[in-house]
Amino acid sequence: MPEIIARTATADYPIFIQQGALDHLGERVAASCQGRRTVIVTDDQVGPLYLERVSASLKAAGFNCGEAIVPAGEGSKNPERLAFLYARFHETGLSRTDPVIALGGGVVGDLAGFAAATWLRGVPLVQVPTTLLAQVDSSVGGKTAIDLPQGKNLVGAFYQPRLVVMDPAVLHTLSRRFMADGMAEVIKYGLIGDEALLDQIEQQAYDLEWVVARCVRSKIAVVARDEKDSGERMLLNFGHTVGHAIEKATGYAAFSHGEAVAVGMVMAAAIGEKLGETDPGTGDRIRRVLEAYQLPVQADVPLQALLPAIFSDKKRLGSRIHYVLLRRPGEAFLKPMTPNELSAVLGEVWPRG
Ligand code: NAD
């Protein structure tokens, strides 16, 4: 069973990836945290599937467990649900050494993570990710946030977990759409720095535990070198500038995050090929692998509707947008572009431009 140690400037923590890990969660949390009270935060789809097992394991290890169940979906990443979590922490008597357990996908991880970062100025956080996206991406690296009416992830904190426990077996209950969603991020890891992973995904001959571990190792390596997202960590945003813009322009309804990122990766390859920066044929290879996982390769959205969101991207530094491009599959780099340069090349490659 892989036990991976994440090392960042602010914290080192173990990541366990193991079939059946949910049943050993209590022992692991007890070994990492002093407190013996906890609140398990989950959503109303994950709760019925896994809360009882997690709670039983924590109780067996001597924890007094409170629960906070929020409605499933992005709509729960808001200040009202955050206040609900604080109320549950207060009722349970959560003190500075008592951990918060985030049992769920990226929504629960981000919401519970931000609540843990801010309750009593920070209590231990244990991430127990249950979607492929949360296992390969959101549960490690320490980004936590909630949304505001003005935009997604506007209020948040960099706050590393004390411990991350992943049970690949829980992915068997995940819907096909959310599985594909996470696969878009897996393909992204392959494209930006791990061609061997991409090969396995293309051949559809992989072991999920191996894939999760491989992606986690890639992410923590990048986060170790750039915890606060000022340089290399931006490479993890490959496909995300256009992806976020598609999500925003379509009201976060028509495309899931992974679907939007899939289109964004195709566009980034097209831009790179047009500029002569990316090996010819890269875009075709990306399209083939995305289609094999039932992910979209284009979006029926006018380019004009995307440009405002592209130019307000958080990854903008000064007057330039640092666009993530590929030299070839397995090698990414940041290309600074002015808004004019970017909109000109996008106009050439966007199918409905
Ligand atoms: P999600 O948390 O909404 O989960 C997707 C759906 O799957 C939900 O309905 C959930 O109830 C259900 N589900 C979860 N696990 C399940 C399981 N094992 N079996 C059956 N159903 C299950 O969505 P997500 O895609 O995991 O996360 C998206 C969120 O992650 C977004 O808010 C995004 O901003 C955030 N995110 C954060 C980071 C970060 O670094 N913090 C990175 C990427 C994305």
Identify which of 206, 215, 217, 218 has the alpha carbon closest to the alpha carbon of residue 293: 206
Those residues with Cβ within 8 angstroms of residue 129's Cβ, 6 or more apart along the chain or in another chain: 102, 104, 105, 106, 109, 135, 138, 139, 164, 166
Cα gap 157→121, rounded to integer Å: 11
**Half-sphere exposure of residue 274: CA atoms within 13 angstroms, side-chain side:** 16
170 close to ligand 1 (CB < 6 Angstrom): yes
**Tell me: the pLDDT tens digits for 253-266?**
899 999 999 999 99
181 close to ligand 1 (CB < 6 Angstrom): yes
Question: Among the listed ranges 66-75, 240-249, 281-290, 306-315, which one has the minimum average pLDDT value?
Answer: 306-315
**Tell me: the pLDDT tens digits for 239-292?**
999 999 999 999 888 999 999 999 999 999 999 999 999 999 999 999 999 999
250 close to ligand 1 (CB < 6 Angstrom): no
Quick count: other Cβ atoms within 10 Å of Cβ 50? 20
Atom of ligand 1 nearest to the CA of 73: 3
Res. 2: pLDDT tops 80: no
| Residue whose CB lies within 8 A of the most ligand 1 atoms, among 8, 81, 132, 138, for a mutation test | 138
Res. 117: pLDDT tops 60: yes
| Residues 183 and 258 sit within 8 Å (Cβ to Cβ) | yes
Average pLDDT estimate for 28-51: 97
**Tell me: the pLDDT tens digits for 145-168?**
999 988 889 999 999 999 999 999
With pLDDT > 90 as the criterion, what percentage of the chain qualifies? 85
Helix axes 282-292, 176-193, angle to 10 degrees: 160
Res. 353: pLDDT tops 60: no
SS3 269: helix
Average pLDDT of the residues of the chain: 94
309 close to ligand 1 (CB < 6 Angstrom): no
Pairing of strands 163-166, 125-129: parallel
State the pLDDT at residue 314.
Answer: 56
| Residues 144 and 159 sit within 8 Å (Cβ to Cβ) | yes
**In the numeric block, which tokens belong to residue 220?**
């923590």
